[in-house]
Amino acid sequence: MKNLTDVKLEDYLEYKLANALTVVGLAITTLGIVLNICCYLTAANFKVQNSSITLLKCLAFWDTMVIINDGYIVLGSYYFSYSPQDLNLYFCKVFYFHNWASSVSSSLHMMALALDRVTAIHWPVWYKQKSSPGLAHRVTFVIFGFCYILTLPNLFKFDIVDSVCTLNATPFFALWYTAMVAIGFYCIIPFVVVSFCNIYFICMLNSRKKEKSSGERRLTIMLLTNSIVFCVLIVSTSLLVTVLYSLNTSTLHGIANAYFVEKSLSVSAVTNSSVNFIFYFISGPMFRENFFLIFKRKNSK
């Protein structure tokens, strides 16, 4: 049996599991990028380009940003033994600024997509008159601006402390800011809004059982399936963030636990941004039809 003083970080089970998670996360990253490209191309293939379809394309774009950041850069840094701070301080600041902003933007786009569906169902006449790709692009621009303004402190407060890129601020500001961005705008607010939208979708679908062939109904079922998965994964992310900040990292075992939770967070974020196409394909007949049309057109040429 090893002496306690001879135990290394690599000896802990949590550390070994974290390394295994990293490999799984990188595999999901590669698959997720391919699936998001398919999702974007399929949405672009819809004959009617309303605000819902445009928001779907925007969501695919921001999900890809999240996958690249949390997958290839964060998980890749552990697998290939490099860190963002190994390059230089400015890359570190810009990376975490962009990483946090794109993560929040992805969650808020999912929320906007759910609210768009509620509007289409509850105010159909107004929606048909006002819904357009232009409106969706304006919503996307507002989300984009808000997220990057929200995460501006990363450009000024992030610094390399003890060889780790972290918020170089007072404990109160670091805790408040991280809770607001990582838990509030990334997890809690989208979760609450999307959950209420899901309840509305379920009630609507239950009251309109006879409309089996309705295109609006099929689109709603497709979004409902994906948004339920989003809620489950976003709750797990919120719990992991809470656990991470409550861990005692003054011991090697504590560091190993933090290492495992950090990798779990990245894998959860990558998975959340990779599964949209799968659930749209399974639950959306129109989505499947438009996906196969892409290949039929190529074969016909």
Q: What is the pLDDT of residues 186-237, one digit of tens each?
A: 888 988 898 888 888 888 777 766 554 466 667 677 777 778 888 888 878 7
Instruction: Write down the pLDDT at residue 234.
Output: 81
Is residue 36 predicted with pLDDT exceeding 90? yes
Instruction: Write down the pLDDT at residue 96.
Output: 85
pLDDT digits (tens, 9 = 90+) for 66-87: 999 989 888 888 777 766 656 6
Q: How large is the average pLDDT for residues 1-17?
A: 70
Is residue 31 predicted with pLDDT exceeding 90? yes
Contact 34, 275 (CB under 8 A): no
SS (H, E, C) the chain: CCCHHHCCHHHCHHHHHHHHHHHHHHHHHHHHHHHHHHHHHHHHCCCCCCHHHHHHHHHHHHHHHHHHHHHHHHHHHHHCCCCHHHHCHHHHHHHHHHHHHHHHHHHHHHHHHHHHHHHHHHCHHHHHHHCCHHHHHHHHHHHHHHHHHHCCHHHHHEEEECCEEEECCCHHHHHHHHHHHHHHHHHHHHHHHHHHHHHHHHHHHHHCCCCCCCHHHHHHHHHHHHHHHHHHHHHHHHHHHHHHHHCCCCCHHHHHHHHHHHHHHHHHHHHHCCCHHHHHHHHCHHHHHHHHHHHHHHHHC
Helix 13-44 to helix 252-272 angle (10° resolution) is 10
Residue 174: pLDDT band (50, 70, 90) is confident
Q: Look at 156 and 218; give whichever has higher pLDDT.
A: 156
Residue 297: pLDDT band (50, 70, 90) is low
pTM (predicted TM-score): 0.85
Instruction: Write down the pLDDT at residue 1.
Output: 44
Instruction: Write down the pLDDT at residue 301.
Output: 54
Is residue 159 predicted with pLDDT exceeding 80? no
Residue in 227, 297, 258 with CA at minimum distance from that of residue 78: 258
- Give me the chain's average pLDDT, please: 82
Residue 254: pLDDT band (50, 70, 90) is confident
Do the bridges between strand 158-161 and strand 164-167 make them parallel or antiparallel, or are there none, so unpaired? antiparallel
